[in-house]
Structure formats: C-alpha cells, structure tokens
Structure 1
Amino acid sequence: MATILADNRNSFAILPDSPDLARALDEANVPTLLAAYVHMTHDAAFLDRFADHIRPAFSQPPTDIPEELADDLRARMRHLLTTGEGYQARPASDALLQRIMTVTVGEPVEDEFLELVEDQCGFRPYIDRSQMVGRKAPKADFKILVIGAGMTGMAAATKLREAGYNFVVIEKNADVGGTWYENRYPGVGVDTPSHFYSFSWEIWPDWQHYHPHGADMQKYMLATADKYGLRRDIRFNTKVEKLVWSDVDKVWTVTVQKADGTREDIVVNAVINGHGPVNRYQFPDIPGLDDFAGTLVHTANYPADLDLKGKRVAVIGTGASSAQLVGAIAPEVGQLTIYQRSKHWVLFNPELTHEVSEGMRWALANIPNYKEWFRFRVYWAAADGLYSNVVKDPAWEGNMTAVSQGNAMTREYALGYMQQRFADRPDLIEKLTPDFPIFSKRIILDNGWFDALARPNVHLEDQGIARILPNGIEAKDGSVFECDVIICATGFNVAKMIGNLTIKGIGGRDLGEEWGEDDPRSYLGMCVPGYPNYFHTVGPNSAPNHAAGQNMISECQVHWIIEALDRINEADANAFEVTQDAFDAWNRKVEERMPQMIWTHPGANSYYNNSKGRVFLSWPWRLVDFFHATRAPEDGSYRLLH
C-alpha cells in the first residue's frame, strides 16, 4: 500500500523506482522539474545554482543549464519521489513560490501575479464557494439559465453547481464543446498552447500535442463534461431565441426552440449568455456566390464526407482558419487557388507540430506539481509575457510598421522567417509582406501554411474577387479559376455580439437596437444598465488579443458573475444591475487607454475594429489586470432591485 504524503497544496504517493520514472525525468522540461522539486522540498538555495542559466522565454538560447546540474536535479527528484525523504509537509510560502517563479522564467515575477498563479495554475483556488464558512446558501427557487455549453458555459455550469445555484444550460448542438464541437475542417487547431488552454480546476496531463488539434480540444471538453457530470444540467438540441425582462416580476422569460421545432417559455431569475463571439459564421458578400454550381462550404460547417482528392479547390480568405486548412489539404487536391483580401503576419513556433513525448506525459500525470508549474511557464511565455508587443512606445522613432523597439524586433524575426522560406519566390514575399505592425491583427502560426504556398499546385491570388461564376471565380484582373469546390474561410460575425437573439430589458429596451450591427459596449465585458441579471460573457473589450488566455477570461467572468449573484442572495434582493455611471466611467477608461495600444495604429484594421474603426473587442491591459478587476463587483458600481 502506498504511503501518502499530503498538505493542502502538495500531495503524492511515493512512486516505485521504475523505467517510466527514469524516462520521465530524462524528458521533462528542466526548469519545470526544478520548480516542482523546490516546491516540495522548500530548498530555495538549490534555485540559486540555476538562476544564472535561465533567461526569459524568447532569449536565444533561453537556457544553458549545464548537464551535470540537470543530472543532479534529476537524481534529487528521483530520490524524493521514491523515498519521500526531503518532502516538506507544510505549505510553501508565498515568498518561496515567487522565488520559484522568478528563477524558472528567468525574470522578475512581481507580487501582483501571486494570486493569479495560485488560482490559475491549480495550486489553490481563489474561492471555492462550497467551502466558504458563513456563506448564505442560495434560494432553491432562484433559477439561472446559461446559454451555450462551450468553454464559458461549461465553466459557468461547474461553478454554479459548486456554489449551490439552481441552473439549466441551453445548448443548440447535440453535445458540449461549442466552437470545438462545430469546427471540424482539416487541419483545425488551437493557437493557444494546450497546457494553458484548459480549466484551472481540470489541468489535463493527457495532451498529445503542445498545441491541440481541434479533435484534441473537443476530446478534453467531452472528458471534462464526463468527469463533472455536466450533461445532467444541459438541454441539448435547443436554441435560445428571445429574452424578455419583466419589470413587475423581476424575472426573465426565455423563449427556446426545441429539436422538434416547437417553442417553450422558461422563466428564470438570471441569464448568463455564454454563446461566444466565434459562434456565428459568415459567408462573404460576393456577387454570384449563390449561383455557384459546385460545392460551397464554410470552414465552420465543414462536411465530414467532403472528398477533395484531385479536385480543383478555391479557398476564400487567408486568416488563421485558412492557413490551417490549406496546410492540410494542399497535398491532396489537384489545383488550389487561395484568394487573399488582407495580409497577415506569420510566426513560426516549432512546438506547434511537436507531439508531447511519453515521458513528458508521464511527468505531467505523476510528478506532483509538475503540470501546475508547466502551466505557469506556458502562461508566462504565451500570455502576459507578450503584452509589451501591443503597447505603443511614445518615444518610438522607428518606421511606421512598428510601435516599439521590441515590436520592431518581432517584426524582423517574422520577416526573416518569411524571406528564408521563400528565398526563391520573391513574388510570394511581395504578396505576403504586411504593411502594418505585427500583433495589430491576429497572428498566424505556421503549421504547413508556407509549405503549401510553395507547392506547384497552389496559387495565391491577391487581386481580389470580382464575382463568383457558376463554374468558378473571376478575379478583378479578369482571370478565371474554374473549380469544383469553394471553401469560405471567412470567419465569424464577431461584432454583432448578441447574434440573432432578441433581448428586451427594463421598459422594453432593446439591446440589439442599442448595440446595432457592430457597436457593442458593456461594463467589464459583462453588464449593461437597463438589463438586470443579464450577464454577457466574452463581451465588448474583454478579449485578450495580445496573446493566449480566453480560458482565463471566461473563468474570471464566471467568478465575478457568481459574486454578483451572491450579492443578490445576501441582500434578499431580486436582481443586480450595473449603474449608468459605472458603465460610462468604464467605457471612458477603455477609450482613454485604447490610443496607447497597437490596435489603433493607422495600419491596423481587423475584426477587432467595428465599421467606424473603434476597437470594440480587445482588452487593453494584461490578463493579470483582468484577474484583479474581476475578484468582486466594486461597491457603488451596481444597484440591487427588490
């Protein structure tokens, strides 16, 4: 029987000295192994031996740890795990955790990150409401409806249940997953590294790739739904159509359409809208599109049985979905023409195609604290570590294609990669090189995109489309590409954030009319005055467009919403409504900040901007700032309705 050593943050069973352990120690990331070892032993002095050999993530090289020092670490960890000798049962202090962070990422990690890391890396949840002493239990007849069972809806379901609330989730699809249930085109994948793009309470050791394929991501979502029993509170194949607030009864009447086409009204006290901004795909507005006689598809609704072998295929769009798709299909199609409307910066990350080795997966699954510290390392490199790229340096005097020295260096790296890959194709370099700063639009990660563009059966058309013909596409220069299949990789209607929902608030106010087609505004991306107990997640100016982190934004918003619901419950009130003053002040703060950000550069124009150029989507600060802003509703920012 295994001996268990435990405290509230460290616990492990003593492991047998096995070939699996030996292989895991050999293949494990050394700085992460160091973090896990010091966390368990509290041997801060051992950190000092590594401090001069670890540098920030984008340094070249990021580490130069001597092999004898790495071997010493492996031997110490092996002895600890197989004997328990040196294990410290008391929790690691904040000072030690901070020292571990600073040494293992090669740069200072300030106090403001401690709570975020402990919560988001799974060491200690910021709040577990099921364990809160003195918290008033929610009323059984106070019911919440959650729209959508994607990442945000699943987070809401998990935490609402933990908090003891009565709720139901309405999901239009047949299972959980949201965008990862729907997007199944060849090559579909995730920009965010696997070991960060997950729930903080369900850090998965089973990723097969360092960047998940779409099927990997959906597998995680399904496994999480199974583990937490989420499906019992979800009504599938049901679509929300309308929300109407009652000024008299202080409730929402939610009209849903069931699978059989009939409608039902559900009366609830609060609504959490988790249907997400990348849920409503759109076809391009091009003359003749409906007249095409061949096969017309969108990447977000890709037929599982579509056979492209030997076919003449046109792809409209050159964004992230197109780059993933083209890299996957180019080797099998007969001829492929890609129609480019706008250029995009491309970065190469070798990890994008790397599989997680068996030893590394074993370490993540079995070495205590290893997966948590690996998640921290990924967060630091792929999220807030990239923030400086999107902030304008007022003293920058370089060219107009960058906003700071660091941003210019990143641009040169991307440009150098492109020039190296297409050294013999100056025509492609000319077509692909953007004239705007890198990071002012979404970055493309190269996972076969450049390889595909260099193939003899692939042509990149940058003259624009004049019209769609029954047998193909006519470009603006008059050339015609006759094709069998047109695939639209043309994204989503992100700006119309309520989609086709009708939302009627106090006095019949209509949120669709107030936001219009592309001008949504809210408080913290969640609340709008006049719509009590309506919480719109992943809303205006809450997207982390500087880097990875949508999973964390979703968690933070769910946390804040439940805090708001608790305020209602504690006061025996009926509803929570953000004030007009708080709403106005927040939007002024965002507007004042945005001119300092790369997304307002004259050359930047993407789906982050609305038709008037306003940046409606992006959160203009770091993830750690969002974390602290969403710990609880600020006193004076809301009123409670009785």
Structure 2
Amino acid sequence: MTTASPADAALTATTDIEELRANLLQADQGVLVAVLAQLTGDSSVIDRFGPKISHVPDPPERTGVTDPDTAAELADAVIAALEAPHRTDAVDLDMFARLLPVALGSEVDDEQVPLLLEQGGFAPSTPTLERTVAIPDTMNVAIIGAGIAGINAALSAAEAGVAYEIFDRNDEVGGTWLTTKYPGIGVDTPSAYYSLSREVNPEWTNYYPQGAEYQAYLVALADKHRLREHTRFNTEVEALWWDEDRKQWQIHSVDGVGTRDVSYARVVITAAGYLNRPRWPELPGRDTFEGISVHSALWDPDLDLTGKRVAVIGAGCTAVQIVDASVEQVEHLTVFQRQPHWVAPRKRLTDDVPEHRRYLGRRLPYYSKWHRLKSYWGTADNNYPIILQDPEWSKSHLSISPANDVLLQMCLEYIDRTFGAGTELAKKVTPDFAPYGKRIIRDPGGYYAALTRPHVDVEASEPAEVNANGIVTQDGRQIDLDVIIYATGYHLDFLSTVDIRGRDGKKLAEEWGDSPSAYRGGTVPGFPNLFITSAPNYSPGHGAGANFSMEVLAHYIIECLQLMALRGATTMEVTEQAYQEYVAAVDEAMSRTVWCHTPNAHTYYRSDSGRVVVATPFRLVDIWREHRAPAEEDFLLR
C-alpha cells in the first residue's frame, strides 16, 4: 500500500527499462525533478532541470512540463539514479524547501514547509514535547468509531505505545464508506490526498475516491496493522460517564444481540463524525407512497432503477452523484431542489488515473508522495482568500471578494455553456449567494449534462406533498413515480446521540445546546480526558479534507497524553477561561468569512442558533501550528 522507499530503489532484474522510460516520459516533470533530487541527494539537479520546467496554470494540478529533449534527459537521469546504490530515507529540509516550487508549480512561504513535509508523507508527525517520561500503561484509550478518523487515532496511539480499544457499531471498519452504497458515491477531495500521510496509496484508479475503492483502502489498513484485534465490532456506545472515583470514563455499550456492558478507559477519543443519522424531510403524505422510498444513506444495493420513473429530492453532492450515475438507466427523472448549489466543472475529460501514474506510483520511490503533496497544495491555503469577505467589494457584488468572484465567474460560465445564458433551466440552477456560502460541488462529469436530457425535469422547489402515486408539486401538478430517492442529508449531531456526562454529571448535550463549540483538540471544560476528533469548527471549509484535521488532532492528543506523563497527572481538563477565549477567537475570525455573509444559503455548517459550527475560519497552517503541543497554562492537570 505505501510507496516504495529508497531501500527498494535499485532496479530489479525483471525491470523492463524501456517500459520504465516510456512511463517516465509521460510523468509530471516537476515531480520527477523532486524525485530525482531525493533519490540522489544531489541538490544540483534543481538548478539543472528546474529552470526548464514550465507549469500548466489551469487547475487542478499545475502539471509540470518540459521539452522532449529535456524530458528524455530527465528520464535517463532517474533511471541512472535507480541503478545507483541505495540511499537512506532522510529528507534534507533545505533541499525540500527548494524543491517545492519546482514540484508544486508555485512559490511556497517558509511557514508552510514543515507542514508540507508531513502532509507529503516524507516525515512522520514530529514529537514536540520531550519524551523523557514514558506514557504509563494506565493511560489506556477508548476510540469510538472505526472509520478513517478512528483508524488514524488508533495508529497514532500504537505508535506512541499507548494501549487502545476501538468500539464500532458495524461489523467491519470503514464507517460511512462501509454503510453508504448509493450509486456514484465518492468525495470531492482528490484521492491522492484523501488518505493518511503515513499510508500513501499509489493504486487509486480514480482521481476522486469512489466508495468501494476507498473502503478497500481502509480495510487494507485494518489488515496491515491488525486493528481488528483491538476492535469491538457490532458494539454501539450509548453513554460515556466520567467516574470521579476511578478517574476513568465508563463506556456503556450494547452489542448486536442486545447485551449491555460497562467498560473503562482513562481517555476517550470520539471518532464518530457529526453526520450519522439520515434526515428525512417533513413532507405531508411521505409514508403513503406505494412505490419505493429510499434515503441515500440507507441505499438498497438490490434496487434497480432501470426503466423506472424516479424522483431525486435534493441538490447537494449526494444528489449530484446519484443523478450522474443513474440518468442513463431511468425512464424519467425529476430532480427537486430546494436551493441550487454552485457547481464547478470537471477539468479533465475523465477521472480515470492514467496507467503511467499508477505504474510509477508502484515502482518509483517518492512519486506518489509528491503527488499527494501536490493534491493537498492545490486544495489548501491557496484557496483561503476565497472564503474571506472584502467589505467594499461585497457591497456591489454577489461574490464577497475578487478571489471569490473568480470562482463565481467560472461557475456562471459553466452554467451558460451547458444550459444557454438566460434560459429557464439556467435560472433554476443559478444560486443567489456567493460561492462557498454552502459547500461547493464538483460535477462528476455528467450532472449538468443530465439536467438537459429530454427525460429529465428540474423542479426549483421542494415537493408540496407525497401521495400513493407520487409527488404533488408546489403548483399542484401530479408526478407519478416508481421510486423516490431522498438525498436530503443528515442530522447535525455532534455526539448528541450519545449520553456524555462529565464531572458532577454535567451533560455535554446541555453544555452545547444548539451551539456546540470546543477548544483545541476538541476539548470542553468539565469533561476531562475527552478528545473529540470531529469537533465543532475543525472541518476545513476552504480546502484540503477532513483527513487533515484528523491527523492534526491525533498528533495533538498524543502530545496531551505526553504532557500528563511528564507532570505525573492522571487527568487533563481545559479551563473555562481558555475555552471561552478560544471560542471567541473562532467566532471573531468566522465573522469575516463567507458563511457569515451569505445568510440566505441553506447550509449544515450553521446550527439552529445560526452560529457556524462546522467549518474552521482559520488557515490550515495556523491550525497545524497551534496543535503542535498543548498550552499547559490552559489546562488543569491533576
């Protein structure tokens, strides 16, 4: 699963040199310069090849290209390096910093370099606090959830020598990727990046993770690291109660046959996510429909849409993927959208990863890591200006800033190109808020095109009601249907389905109300040794992916355990003052973002109180830096 290391760098007797060379000639030349420099340890290759590399400026990747003669020279140099003696896996930070502009296609600020070293998988997350005292055996950890967040937390615990146990309600690892099976399921984060930096996968077949392939990646992680030996499957955690006498958490769980159990752990890491319970719309008559009703989160794999009259309720990412995947099968499709999203066009003719990239990922050390880094860089803090409001600009524009307007114009051009400027259908799919006011959607390749098909209708409203035969529209028309698909998302839970009680029986649900918040590491006063990975205001809203915050918080949690060990403490609890000051800083920064200046955008980023509780308003590099180690003065260590 991981890319080759320099120990594997030498060519084998079975290597077909001409095949290798042919694949190298098709590769991203900027990435090859970086690979060559690392293979040889020779920084002069940067001066030799770097000036000859140009970069295609159009997203998504700013591919490095050069002339055929230089490409051939570079390919020969890489082959020669592979034929040389093995090198170590050490990375020279100065050379790495010089390589970044060549490989990534843009200048990189010095503050980003250490972060990029980790995010590329070139170096593990570096301990910050001294390791003069070992984390004691009594500091055992319970991890709630066996999706990507839980897996990452488990690997971090194991690496630190901390005993852990995972609890998961399903019978296999994977979380959402195990349970959700709707047609076309995937995620908009590039597959090269949407993985763990410690486990870079060179074998992706699609530029964006598809459900079954991503689930296979998570299963492979469980196999490789023997995670199932530490996991209680078919076990749902119903309650977490702090036991002051034992200075441990009581973990109240129930297994698949209804047997209840109470176990104990010094530390709890919740990795259950905040979107778990499917949300059905409150439509009159919904239960009277005599055809098939299915929620996208509860998809029946045996459901065949061929020749059916189908309605999809929703216009978010899930609905887009279902429409894209099923439009060719159905007899007729009606899409009901309460509010359109901004949809960005696909930039490639196909999302299939070319064979040369997979070939080199398997055989060329560092190649997949540089592509991971390039995918991160293209979707990370470079995008940050897009979410920041320019007060003067936004007075006279739908967009909130010049940077935001670039995206708006691209999406508008896509609408006009697909539907025709000013047409009725173009009006239906055009939002009335700035891009990123609600989550931007990437067209999988055929969504907008599907809406133009003769057998597809778009209703720019929710249904008025459902009856035995189908749906009644807001203007009173009857649409007869065979299948109704509810792509209507999830309840925003933030652990509200688990009875969590801290010191003196303090309930987390009451502490949060309808405006959940947390300090660094997902910590809350009154709840010692509780860390929430899918914490309020920790989801990267402008770029990267959820895996970024998962890795950052896992590093931080281990540093917290180390701090307790150094101080001989059993419990660690954030102070009320530090908590309130941090939340205030979040809200102050949030006030300048798009989510506070697009009140008409319906988004799950805001809770019922109106406060933005999902996205972070900070740059990714700032989050990373602030989570290198806990600020001891902000905690009560007992």
Question: Fold-level match, TM-score > 0.5?
Answer: yes
Retained in 2: the 8 A contact 1:526–1:535? yes
Retained in 2: the 8 A contact 1:524–1:541? no
Match of 2:579 among 583, 592, 595: 583
Task: Give the C-alpha shift of residue 613 in structure 1.
Answer: 2.2
Aligned to 1:162: 159
**What is the DSSP-based 3-state SS (H/G/I as helix, E as strand, rest coil) of the residue aligned with 1:139?**
coil
Q: Deviations over 1:353-411 (max 9, x none)?
A: 42122221111121111111111111110222222211123452673311211211111
- Cα distance change on mapping 1:146 and 1:398 into 2, 3 Å: same
Retained in 1: the 8 A contact 2:61–2:378? no
Retained in 2: the 8 A contact 1:525–1:538? no
**What is the DSSP-based 3-state SS (H/G/I as helix, E as strand, rest coil) of the residue aligned with 1:283?**
coil
- Cα distance change on mapping 1:233 and 1:61 into 2, 3 Å: closer
Amino acid at match of 1:110: D
Amino acid at match of 1:388: P
Retained in 1: the 8 A contact 2:173–2:218? yes
Amino acid at match of 1:75: D
Q: Between Structure 1 and Structure 2, how many residues are aligned?
A: 629
Match of 1:307 among 304, 309, 312: 304
Distance 1:178 1:568 in 2: 31
Task: Give the C-alpha shift of residue 153 in structure 1.
Answer: 0.3
Distance 1:155 1:460 in 2: 41
Q: Deviations over 1:227-285 (max 9, x none)?
A: 11111101111100011112232211111011111211112211111001122221112
Q: Deviations over 1:323-344 (max 9, x none)?
A: 0001111111111111100110
When the two chains are superposed, the root-mean-square deviation of aligned CA atoms in Å is 2.3
Report matched runs for 1:92-103 at 5 Å.
92-103=91-102
Aligned to 1:77: 78
Distance 1:240 1:353 in 2: 42
Aligned to 2:460: 462
Say if 2:179 is the partner of 1:209: no
Task: Give the C-alpha shift of residue 208 in structure 1.
Answer: 0.7
Task: Give the C-alpha shift of residue 638 in structure 1.
Answer: 0.7
Distance 1:77 1:427 in 2: 55
Q: Deviations over 1:74-131 (max 9, x none)?
A: 22212222345xx8769453221111102222322122112212212111112379xx
Task: Give the C-alpha shift of residue 309 in structure 1.
Answer: 1.0
- Cα distance change on mapping 1:135 and 1:185 into 2, 3 Å: farther
Report matched runs for 1:172-571 at 5 Å.
172-351=169-348, 353-396=350-393, 399-423=396-420, 426-447=423-444, 448-494=446-492, 496-516=493-513, 518-524=514-520, 526-571=522-567
**What is the DSSP-based 3-state SS (H/G/I as helix, E as strand, rest coil) of the residue aligned with 1:285?**
coil
Distance 1:76 1:170 in 2: 50
Task: Give the C-alpha shift of residue 513 in structure 1.
Answer: 1.7
**What is the DSSP-based 3-state SS (H/G/I as helix, E as strand, rest coil) of the residue aligned with 1:256?**
strand
Distance 2:11 2:99 in 1: 23
- Cα distance change on mapping 1:314 and 1:95 into 2, 3 Å: same
- Cα distance change on mapping 1:640 and 1:262 into 2, 3 Å: same
Task: Give the C-alpha shift of residue 12 in structure 1.
Answer: 2.0
**What is the DSSP-based 3-state SS (H/G/I as helix, E as strand, rest coil) of the residue aligned with 1:438?**
coil
Amino acid at match of 2:182: Y
Distance 2:322 2:132 in 1: 50
**What is the DSSP-based 3-state SS (H/G/I as helix, E as strand, rest coil) of the residue aligned with 1:362?**
helix
Bigger mean CA offset, 158-167 vs 202-211: 158-167
Retained in 1: the 8 A contact 2:64–2:103? no
Q: Deviations over 1:491-517 (max 9, x none)?
A: 1112x211311111111111112222x
Distance 1:322 1:580 in 2: 42
Distance 1:265 1:380 in 2: 45
**What is the DSSP-based 3-state SS (H/G/I as helix, E as strand, rest coil) of the residue aligned with 1:628?**
helix
Distance 1:352 1:513 in 2: 50
Retained in 1: the 8 A contact 2:61–2:374? no
Distance 1:474 1:397 in 2: 38
Distance 2:507 2:450 in 1: 47
Task: Give the C-alpha shift of residue 214 in structure 1.
Answer: 0.9
Retained in 2: the 8 A contact 1:524–1:542? no
Distance 1:398 1:375 in 2: 39
- Cα distance change on mapping 1:61 and 1:101 into 2, 3 Å: closer
Task: Give the C-alpha shift of residue 35 in structure 1.
Answer: 1.4
Distance 2:503 2:60 in 1: 54
Distance 1:225 1:18 in 2: 35
- Cα distance change on mapping 1:252 and 1:63 into 2, 3 Å: closer
- Cα distance change on mapping 1:47 and 1:275 into 2, 3 Å: same
Percent of matched pairs sharing the same residue: 37
**What is the DSSP-based 3-state SS (H/G/I as helix, E as strand, rest coil) of the residue aligned with 1:280?**
strand
- Cα distance change on mapping 1:126 and 1:60 into 2, 3 Å: closer
Retained in 2: the 8 A contact 1:530–1:577? yes
Amino acid at match of 2:553: Q
Task: Give the C-alpha shift of residue 319 in structure 1.
Answer: 0.2
Distance 1:199 1:61 in 2: 23
- Cα distance change on mapping 1:5 and 1:239 into 2, 3 Å: closer
**What is the DSSP-based 3-state SS (H/G/I as helix, E as strand, rest coil) of the residue aligned with 2:472?**
strand
Q: Deviations over 1:532-582 (max 9, x none)?
A: 111111111000011222111101111111211222233332211011111
Amino acid at match of 1:333: V
**What is the DSSP-based 3-state SS (H/G/I as helix, E as strand, rest coil) of the residue aligned with 2:631?**
coil
Distance 1:39 1:255 in 2: 50
Distance 2:603 2:466 in 1: 24
Distance 2:236 2:132 in 1: 34
- Cα distance change on mapping 1:11 and 1:63 into 2, 3 Å: closer
Aligned to 1:630: 627
Amino acid at match of 2:470: G
Amino acid at match of 2:111: E
Distance 1:591 1:266 in 2: 37
**What is the DSSP-based 3-state SS (H/G/I as helix, E as strand, rest coil) of the residue aligned with 1:465?**
coil
Task: Give the C-alpha shift of residue 525 in structure 1.
Answer: 5.6
Say if 2:30 is the partner of 1:31: yes
Distance 2:208 2:375 in 1: 11
Retained in 2: the 8 A contact 1:5–1:13? no
Task: Give the C-alpha shift of residue 56 in structure 1.
Answer: 5.2
Aligned to 1:18: 17
Distance 1:362 1:460 in 2: 43
Retained in 2: the 8 A contact 1:525–1:540? no
Task: Give the C-alpha shift of residue 488 in structure 1.
Answer: 0.7
Retained in 1: the 8 A contact 2:5–2:366? no
**What is the DSSP-based 3-state SS (H/G/I as helix, E as strand, rest coil) of the residue aligned with 2:278?**
coil
Task: Give the C-alpha shift of residue 134 in structure 1.
Answer: 4.7
Give unmatched runs, 5+ long, in structure 2. Answer: none
Retained in 2: the 8 A contact 1:549–1:623? no
**Superposition TM-score, scaled by structure 2 size:** 0.94
**What is the DSSP-based 3-state SS (H/G/I as helix, E as strand, rest coil) of the residue aligned with 1:520?**
coil
**What is the DSSP-based 3-state SS (H/G/I as helix, E as strand, rest coil) of the residue aligned with 1:396?**
helix
Bigger mean CA offset, 105-114 vs 500-509: 105-114
Amino acid at match of 1:198: S
Distance 1:120 1:541 in 2: 21
Task: Give the C-alpha shift of residue 34 in structure 1.
Answer: 1.6
Task: Give the C-alpha shift of residue 201 in structure 1.
Answer: 0.6
- Cα distance change on mapping 1:341 and 1:352 into 2, 3 Å: farther
**What is the DSSP-based 3-state SS (H/G/I as helix, E as strand, rest coil) of the residue aligned with 1:584?**
helix
Task: Give the C-alpha shift of residue 292 in structure 1.
Answer: 2.1
